[in-house]
């Protein structure tokens, strides 16, 4: 049984125990909101019929569709024809399906099928999600209360931890890729989206030296200079997500262009979150700053360790985040390009490279 108001499903009931709405026998596309599209009625793979338009990203559009085999709604993500001819873009697009299949976690969006349209554009058939992204929430509400934010971030960390255990690094963790399932303002589950930039540590070929991947506002120091990175890269990004979620602000601001933000991620310690929001729980601040350390060895070693501290927030147990740092918290570039890039960013901020200090 399906509730059209909150989109929860139940084994047997007449009314939704949560909001009292009358239940339907099964989800139907007519119950879901979508916008008109010229592709309405188009059938993909002799199975999926497009019913409406849901939205778009940088390189793909997403449509509401019905699976004619089981009459259930799905979301279909179609790579735009302008990008479909680029081999690297196609690989990254299809990587989302590969990653979801490898991870198989309830807090990661499910991908049911892949295919290709007659014009050569690949598509992914995914579970339909009702709700909004954390990015949408923060643009509207600005700050999320700890009572809701801690469970949301815990679910996201659990999902990313599952990805890391099978060797997959997301590399683009940000509020817009964390989906809050449920009525806007009242989520009951979290889904991690868009593994298009994910890297499988057992494979090679999608990272190019000198080319940084990710979203500028959430990029780790090692991403900024195109150094090798691991699961702690996602931990840093989630730390920046936490910073914004609890304070309503990002730690680093654009001065002239995005280069200024990248330089600060690499070289400047973030302002204490309590400087932005004085009433913030000091224990939450400790968790945020631990995740967002410059040196990877000073961050949480795994998402499981971060989850452990998020759980400890509800008790008097000491936080892992409060342990003394073992290393000076500066990023040490490893590759030749990374060292050159670091020198450039020092100059960008008018700072003296460490090799020339004192």
Q: Which of 79, 97, 127 is the last residue of a domain?
A: 127
Tell me which H or E stretch contains 112: strand 111-116
Give pLDDT, residue 137: 96
Give pLDDT, residue 352: 64
- Confidence band, pLDDT 50/70/90 cuts, at residue 190: very high
Same domain, 278 and 327: yes
Q: Which of 30-34, 63-67, 261-265, 308-312 has the lowest mean pLDDT?
A: 30-34
Q: Which of 64, 98, 127 is the last residue of a domain?
A: 127
Q: Which of 127, 160, 180 is the last residue of a domain?
A: 127
pTM, two decimals, is 0.89
Same domain, 167 and 281: yes
Torsion of CA 94, 96, 101, 106, to 10 degrees: -160
Give pLDDT, residue 211: 53
Distance of CA 27 to the CA centre of its chain: 27
CB 335 within 8 A of CB 228: yes
Is the pLDDT reported for residue 286 higher than 90? yes
Same domain, 161 and 195: yes
Share of the chain above pLDDT 70, in %: 94
Catalytic: 172? yes
Same domain, 93 and 198: no
Q: What average pLDDT does this structure show over 40-48? A: 97
Per residue in 213-268, pLDDT tens? 789 999 999 999 999 889 999 999 999 999 999 999 999 998 888 999 999 999 99
Per residue in 142-154, pLDDT tens? 999 999 999 999 9
CA–CA dist 175, 349 (Å, integer):
27
Of 172, 194, 234, 260, which is the active-site residue?
Answer: 172
- Confidence band, pLDDT 50/70/90 cuts, at residue 36: very high
CA–CA dist 342, 55 (Å, integer):
38
Q: What average pLDDT does this structure show over 163-168? A: 95
Same domain, 122 and 150: no
Q: Which residues are annotated as a binding site?
A: 77
Domain CATH for 87: 3.30.200.20
**Burial grade of 205 (CB within 10 A; 0-12, 13-18, 19 or more):** exposed
CA–CA dist 215, 170 (Å, integer):
12
Q: Which of 1-5, 62-66, 131-135, 347-351 has the lowest mean pLDDT?
A: 1-5
Per residue in 101-120, pLDDT tens? 899 999 999 999 999 999 99
Share of the chain above pLDDT 90, in %: 69
Q: Which residues are annotated as a binding site for ATP?
A: 77
Closest CA to 212 of 204, 222, 202: 222
Number of domains comprising the chain: 3
Same domain, 137 and 284: yes
Same domain, 14 and 81: no
Same domain, 137 and 110: no
Strand partners, 35: 53
Same domain, 118 and 226: no
Enclosing domain of residue 203: 131-356
Same domain, 61 and 162: no
Alpha helices in the chain (DSSP H): 81-84, 87-103, 134-141, 146-165, 221-224, 231-247, 258-267, 273-276, 282-291, 303-312, 336-348
Domain CATH for 334: 1.10.510.10
Same domain, 43 and 111: yes
Same domain, 114 and 139: no
């Amino acid at each position: 049984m399906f509730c059209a108001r909150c989109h929860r499903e139940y084994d047997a009931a007449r009314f939704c125990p949560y909001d009292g709405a009358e239940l339907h026998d099964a989800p139907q596309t007519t119950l879901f909101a979508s916008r008109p599209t010229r592709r309405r009625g188009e059938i993909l793979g002799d199975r999926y019929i497009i019913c409406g338009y849901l939205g778009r990203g940088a390189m793909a559009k997403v449509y509401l569709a019905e699976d004619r085999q089981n009459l259930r709604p799905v979301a279909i993500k179609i790579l735009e024809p302008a990008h479909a001819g680029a081999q690297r873009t196609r690989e990254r697009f299809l990587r989302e399906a590969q990653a979801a299949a490898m991870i198989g976690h309830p807090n990661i969006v499910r991908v049911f099928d892949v295919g290709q349209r007659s014009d050569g554009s690949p598509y992914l058939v995914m579970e339909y999600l009702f709700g909004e992204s954390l990015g949408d929430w923060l643009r509207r509400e600005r700050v999320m209360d700890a009572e809701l934010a801690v469970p949301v971030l815990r679910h996201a960390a659990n999902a990313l931890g599952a990805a890391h255990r099978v060797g997959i690094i997301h590399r683009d963790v940000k509020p817009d890729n964390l989906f809050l399932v449920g009525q806007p303002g009242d989520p009951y589950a979290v889904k991690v989206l868009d593994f298009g930039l994910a890297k499988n540590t057992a494979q090679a070929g999608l990272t190019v030296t000198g080319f940084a991947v990710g979203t500028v506002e959430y990029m780790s120091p090692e991403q900024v200079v195109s150094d090798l990175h691991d699961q702690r890269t996602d931990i840093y990004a989630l730390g920046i997500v936490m910073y914004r979620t609890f304070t309503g602000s990002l730690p680093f601001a654009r001065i002239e262009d995005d280069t200024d933000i990248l330089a600060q991620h690499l070289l400047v310690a973030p302002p204490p979150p309590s400087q932005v929001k004085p009433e913030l729980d000091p224990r939450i601040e400790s968790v945020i700053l631990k995740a967002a350390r410059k040196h990877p060895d000073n961050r949480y070693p795994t998402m499981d360790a971060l989850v452990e501290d998020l759980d400890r927030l509800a008790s008097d147990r000491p936080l892992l985040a409060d342990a003394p740092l073992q290393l000076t918290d500066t990023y040490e570039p490893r590759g030749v390009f990374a060292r050159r890039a670091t020198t450039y960013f020092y100059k960008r901020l008018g700072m003296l490279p460490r090799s020339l200090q004192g």
